[in-house]
Structure formats: structure tokens, C-alpha cells
Structure 1
Amino acid sequence: MDEQLLDAVCDRLKPVLYTENSYVIREGDPVGEMLFVMRGKLISATTNGGRTGFFNAVYLKASDFCGEDLLTWALDPQPSSHFPISTRTVQALTEVEAFALAAEDLKSVASQFRRLHSKQLQHTFKFDLSLSLSLSASLGCFRLAKPDLDLIYRFYSVQWRTWGASFIQAAWRRHCRRKLAKSLRDEEDRLRDALANQDRERQRKRDEAAASSSLSLGATLYASRFASNVLHSLRHNISNLPPRYTLPLLPQKPTEPDFTVDHTSDP
């Protein structure tokens, strides 16, 4: 990040203080600033728009940031006149010191940065993390040497981590469902083969079966009835497998800014 641009960003930062148990922002409220945590501990939680049975929470500490919903809005060449809606509720668990970057200031910096570096930003979030990490480094939180900014941003972004974890869980549940269905089908095939072999054996020994005792015949009928009941139970289990865990139930994938076209014009 250009040092002059970084200095301009730092000049726009405003120190803020949150008391214990106070709310930074609530899910569904407009996001008006991005927050860089310097001291203290917060919890960031989401219900994915109030979806029943869904809850995700992570803890934020020094060097973390929140309000990344604002980044996509700021990097949009034609942003909406309304601030983006927060997808998470952020609450201070202890007294928290942070630096806030207001939406209009972030938008101004994003516009300058996009003009200067549009060719290097094709389909990436490099501005997002370079801003976050540069600010954190300048403020003495940590330093990284030539990181893969794109991957690291997604790692530290709460939205991307939540979406990624949900996607992995959905894939795992689909895998378990397919594995269970295959196991039940294999068991049904084995029982069907066993019944077929039993029928062939009974056909071969039909003459002998006519002379066999009624007890032996009763045992054969009992075994056949038992196998039939097992097959029926297996078919019932397959038909009553839990519904497929489909992607529409996942949290919405975070939106990436489109840097394919430079919408700004230099004077």
C-alpha cells in the first residue's frame, strides 16, 4: 500500500471506546464504519437472517477487525446510496479500545486505491487485507512479510470463515447421507441374493422337502418371512433418509468486488 495513502487512512482513523457488554452493531442494522480492534475482547454472532436452528459465533481480539461488509460497498464503482446491512451482531465482552474508519472515509480511500492499482486488483481482495494489515502493522499489532493477501483475508474475515465452515459441513452431511444410502442398498442386495440362493436350493430339494418334517418346513418359512421383513425395513429406512442438506440453506456467500473493468477515469 502506498505510504502516502496509508498516512491518509491513518489520519482519518478515530479512536473509540466500548464498555463491557455494549453493542458495536446488531445484525440487520446498517454498517457505518469499519472497526480495527486494539485492545479487549468481543463476540461476533449471526443467525443467518434469523434462520431457525442456525447460530454462529466467533471471538474478536486485538488485531482483528469487523465491519467488512463495508469493504465491498466501498469498492463498488457505483455503490448504493444506502449503507450495507450487517450480517452479524458484535458485542464487547470487555472494555474495548479500537480505531474506527467511517464509511465515507473508507469509500474515499478505496476510490484512490482503485485508481492507483486497478491493474493489480483483478478479481482479488488485495485492497481489503492490505488496508487491514497495513493499519494493524502501523498501529503496532503485527507484521507479515509478503503474505498471500487474498487467502489471508478470507482466513481472517469472519464472513468468509462462517460461509466456508458451513459449506464444509453441508458437504460432509451429503457425503454421510450418500454413504448410508449405499450401505443400505448393499445390505439389501446381499439379502436379496441370499433369498435367491435359498429359492434355488429349495427348488433343487423340492422332492426331499416333500418328505421333510413339518418342523423343518416351518423353520424354512420362518427364515423366509424374517428375510422379507428385513428387506422391507431396509427399504423403509432408505425412503426415510433425512432430506438432502442443500446449498440454499447455507449462509449467503460474501460478495466479491468486480475489478475486471476500471470504472474510474483519470483527469
Structure 2
Amino acid sequence: MSPTRAESLLIAELAAEAERYDDVISQIKTIATQFDARLTNDERNLLSIAYKNKTNTLRNSWRIVDTLEKMQASRTAPGTTTRQLTLIRQQRKKIERELANVCKDIVKLLEKQLLPAAKPGEERVFYSKMKGDYYRYLAEFAHEVEREWYADESLNAYKQAYRHAMSTLESVHPTRLGLALNFAVFYHDVRKSPERACHLAKSAFDDAVMSLDSESSDTTMAQTIRDSLQILQLLRDDLVLWSKEIQ
């Protein structure tokens, strides 16, 4: 017998506890395909965590190997290639292929199923932000023409998400703040513009702080405020670093 939706969710939760993220993704894809592409919050969060862990591991591996490759290249005579350097490059390219496959997989799922089924508001912002994030990851290690295309796709996704967030979510909403943080990182890391990154981050930070001041007596905002404080701290930390770069 095929598992029910509740059973698929249970298997996904067990897989997440065991850090078997491929199994998590498989179960949530089954739910989206066989039951409903409009995922519950629990299903959506499991999917997000699984892809985040997979890509974070690969991105960290890529950074390490890329650094080692540059160190080895600096020790090699110009115009020559050693066997060791060749092996390091092969490993970097292997990681790049794996990372690209994971990012393209979630982007395809978002574009074909999750975004078309998403409700206006927080859900659509969340998925559009994810799309921007994974195109950004692709742009981080792609080369030349591909890099520009991925960067443009990331920018378009972030812009759509941010416009929708501005019209549907409170400035202190964690999803809107998380979007602002990642969008600012895009401008800093991909577009190499700390000025635009600072402008976006400061605007989101100031709007949220003003909202906190005006809503401080509203008990219904308490949980939202707690969820947002960590993101506000990250925005502030990035603002400090990027402002020093500009100076």
C-alpha cells in the first residue's frame, strides 16, 4: 500500500531526525505530487531544511577545495599544471556538478509546483525567496555567461518576493526580514555592491525597529518579535561589516 500523506510526513520527520535529507526531499516531493502542491507549514519547513543542509555542506566543500586549488596554483610555475593541481580541479568540478544538480532540482520544484499553488502573502514570499536563494548559490560558483544568467534570475526572484512582501507582510515579519537579509547578501556577494546591500539592509532594519516601537504594547506581536530578533541582529552585523568596506 502506498503511504498516506500523514505517513509520508512521518517518514520525512524521521529522516530529518536521522539527517537523511535525500529521504526527506523524496517524501515531501511525494506529498506535493500525489496529494497537494500546497504544502503545510511542517512539510514546507522540512523541505527547506533538507535542501539547506544539502547545499550548505556542498558549498562549504566547494569553498575549501577552491581555496586549496588557488594555494596550489600559486606554488605552480605560470603556464604549467601539476598532477596535484589537476586532481584538485577535478574534485572542485565534481562538487560543482553535485551542487548545481541540487540547486536546479529545488528551483524546478518551486517553479513547476510550489509557486503556482502558493497562496498570496507569506507563502508566496517564502517560495520566491527560496528561488532567489538557490539561483544565488548557482551564481556563486558558475562562470562567465552562466553566472550572469543565474544572477539575473536570482535578482528577478528576489525583486518579486520583496515587492510582494512589502504589500502583504508587516515590516517585522520574520519571512520579510529573512528575505531582506538574503537579498542584501545577493547585492554584496554576487553584484559586488556593498552600497546597495547596506541600503537594503538598513531600510529593512529601520522599518522593523519602527514597527517594534509602535507595536511594543501589542501582545499578539510578542511571538513574531521573538522570531525576528535573531534576523535583526544578523542584519545589524552585516551592516557594520559592509559599512566598513565602503569606508
TM-score by length of 2: 0.28
Whose RCO is larger (CA < 8 A, sep 6+)? 1
The structure where strand makes up a greater share of residues is 1
Between structure 1 and structure 2, the one with the greater Rg is 1
TM-score by length of 1: 0.27
